Amino acid sequence: MTSVGNVARSVPVALLAVLSLLQPGEGEARTVAPSVPLVVWLDAGGAEILEHRGAIGVHGLAGDGTRADEAPARFRIALDAAPGPPSLRLTLAGVPAAGGRDRDSLRGVPLAPLGDGRLATPWLVAVASEEDRRHPDLAGRALMVRADDRVEARVRRGGGRAVVSSRAVTRPPAEEGDLALRRTDLEAVVLRRGGEGPPVVGGDAAGAAEVMRFQFEVLGEVLAPCAVWAGPPEDVPVRVEAGAPAAMIAVGDPLGLPSSGGEVRLEIDGRKLPAIRVGEGFHPEETARLLAARIREAGFETRVSVNSRNPFAALSTADVVVLRPDGTPAVVRPWDGAPLASDRRQPVRVGGSGGGRGLDAFGANDFASGTVEERSLVKVFKPRRSGAIGVFVVDGLGDGSRQGQAFVGPVASPDMAGAVILDWRALRRTRQAYALPHEVVHVLLGDRGHTDEAGDPRPDLLMHSQAGSALDGPRRLTREQCRIIRDRLAEPGFRKPRGRTHSMPNPAWNQMSSPARQGKVSSSSSSS
């Protein structure tokens, strides 16, 4: 039998239990004084950042300064709970879009009266680089994110459960506006030392992939303030190849002259083909298509491409990539003891790259087409995804004075535009040289120029011509460069094969052509 005293003492407990059942569930309207605060996200102008159409943005463009309370991408959080015990505790976290562990967190974010009865955090920024996160002016104010992350605010009163509110760093790609995510695709090819040795970086295939994914992580840091992304670095395809085999036939380098007549003698995968007769007055493209037709008759596959005309050349040169029926590169060589071609006016060469001495690098006279070795590498191992930027890491580039080269459209032909070639040594100084981001941004901007050459000498700009030796620390893009990149990525045909390229024949060579070929050749050509 229960005593009266025991019943009296049990009433408050029962009453509290009943009252707890009357509290609204998660997501329901609150009809009593809240025990947890309402979370409001505010942008730099004090306007609310709404879940369905707002985003945080990433700090880090040139000229934005380093103080959080001056950054255009700053944000803060306001809470509707009055101060007093039990106290509120706020944690901010950068959360990957795919879920999993927090990328970064700020614990115990301070709260102060906002002046309208609410509490608010100081101004905060989302950043993409560790250098920004550790900057003295941003200490305790910067949260590390990637371009597709979310920022979570976790508010807890006393020992109760945390209330979670979040906002995206960027908006979905299908939307409009400066914070709608724009995407570019990348693929990487790492060559082996000397053709058959270990990869030029990483020691083995797994190590090479790890090195390249770090490079893509740094690229993501640079592009994040523009709301541009190449996807998770771990998802970027990385291949290790034994140097481009001798699978490409280059016709007409370097002058792009019409043929004077002769024979081409090819051996493919150890099989000697009959000599191929080339008549007089054939443009390099015509010669290439003639060779391709004879090679296909022998049971191989071919891809013919016409190069952008170099400034000093009469006509555009052309290339033939020779493939086995399974799509792998064939091995092309001249007959034993015989020259590859007897025509000295229109040379025919077998391309290749690697071999332990690095690649020939383009110069002032062949920047449009690239060298035969560069074309062999890019055309044989071109990206497998249409429109992807191909990044090729080699065991040397030119005389060693260059760390990277980019083939930029529309100067470069469609088969070369979007290719980036890097000397492996540039990757040892990633956060000093920023070689891969620099060259990739050349492609994204569609511009071979540099900011200092255009009159902006700031050494922290990514596109400074001497940025690799200027200083340590993050490299910045300007707001205008972001606009250009975003506009280009929004174009329906950007980085997609354009199908046709135009060569510009010198009229003098039309007069030199034989009557048999006059009227037969178009000045435009297609890749096949």
Task: Write the CATH number for 476.
Answer: 3.40.390.10
Q: What stretch of H or E contains 289? A: helix 284-297
Q: Is residue 265, in this structure, part of any structural domain at all?
A: yes
CA neighbor of 330 nearest in space, from 239, 241, 248: 248
Q: Is residue 20, in this structure, part of any structural domain at all?
A: no
Per-residue burial over 274-283, b = 16 or more CB atoms within 10 Å of its CB, e = otherwise: eebebebbbb
40 with 163, same domain: the answer is yes
**What is the extent of the structural domain holding 389?**
181-241+370-497
Per-residue burial over 396-421, b = 16 or more CB atoms within 10 Å of its CB, e = otherwise: bbeeeebbbbbbbbeebbbbbbbbbb
Q: Is residue 381, in this structure, part of any structural domain at all?
A: yes
CA neighbor of 253 nearest in space, from 111, 145, 350: 350
482 with 518, same domain: the answer is no
493 with 388, same domain: the answer is yes
Report the pLDDT value the prediction gives residue 517, as an integer from 0 to 100: 37
Measured CA to CA, the distance from residue 149 to residue 156 in angstroms comes to: 22
Q: Is residue 74, in this structure, part of any structural domain at all?
A: yes
Domains: count for the chain: 3
493 with 462, same domain: the answer is yes
Residue with tokens 């920022």: 151
CA neighbor of 460 nearest in space, from 443, 444, 486, 438: 438
Q: Which residues are paired to 302 by β-bridges?
A: 322
45 with 160, same domain: the answer is yes
Q: Is residue 389, in this structure, part of any structural domain at all?
A: yes
φ, ψ (nearest 5 deg) of residue 136: -55, -35
79 with 96, same domain: the answer is yes
Measured CA to CA, the distance from residue 142 to residue 127 in angstroms comes to: 6
42 with 68, same domain: the answer is yes
Report the pLDDT value the prediction gives residue 508, as an integer from 0 to 100: 29
Q: Is residue 69, in this structure, part of any structural domain at all?
A: yes
235 with 374, same domain: the answer is yes
Q: Which residues are paired to 154 by β-bridges?
A: 91, 164
CA neighbor of 404 nearest in space, from 368, 359, 369: 359
Measured CA to CA, the distance from residue 461 to residue 466 in angstroms comes to: 10
List, as own/partner pairs, every contact residues 324-329 make where C-beta atoms lie below 8 angstroms and the sequence separation is at least 24, other chains included.
324/269, 324/300, 325/299, 325/300, 325/301, 327/301, 329/244, 329/245, 329/247, 329/380
CA neighbor of 474 nearest in space, from 159, 19, 66: 66
CATH number at 105 reads 2.60.40
**Which segments within 158-246 are labelled E, that is strand?**
163-168, 182-183, 186-191, 228-229, 238-241
**Which one-letter DSSP state was computed for residue 38?**
P
Measured CA to CA, the distance from residue 167 to residue 516 in angstroms comes to: 70
**Which one-letter DSSP state was computed for residue 124?**
B
136 with 64, same domain: the answer is yes
Measured CA to CA, the distance from residue 426 to residue 422 in angstroms comes to: 7
Report the pLDDT value the prediction gives residue 82, as an integer from 0 to 100: 57
Q: Is residue 328, in this structure, part of any structural domain at all?
A: yes
Pairing of strands 318-323, 248-251: antiparallel
**Which segments within 53-124 are labelled E, that is strand?**
76-79, 88-95, 104-106, 112-113, 119-120
Q: Is residue 145, in this structure, part of any structural domain at all?
A: yes
Measured CA to CA, the distance from residue 414 to residue 409 in angstroms comes to: 7
Measured CA to CA, the distance from residue 21 to residue 32 in angstroms comes to: 12
70 with 162, same domain: the answer is yes
Report the pLDDT value the prediction gives residue 437, as an integer from 0 to 100: 96
Measured CA to CA, the distance from residue 15 to residue 2 in angstroms comes to: 18
Report the pLDDT value the prediction gives residue 410, as an integer from 0 to 100: 84
Residue ranges in the chain whose pLDDT is less than 70: 1-36, 81-86, 353-357, 467-472, 493-528
Measured CA to CA, the distance from residue 94 to residue 85 in angstroms comes to: 28
Residue with tokens 């297609």: 526
Report the pLDDT value the prediction gives residue 12, as an integer from 0 to 100: 42
377 with 423, same domain: the answer is yes
343 with 413, same domain: the answer is no
Residue with tokens 């435009």: 524
Measured CA to CA, the distance from residue 351 to residue 245 in angstroms comes to: 8
Residue with tokens 């004084």: 33
Angle at 317 between CA 285 and CA 299, to 5 degrees: 50
Pairing of strands 238-241, 260-264: unpaired
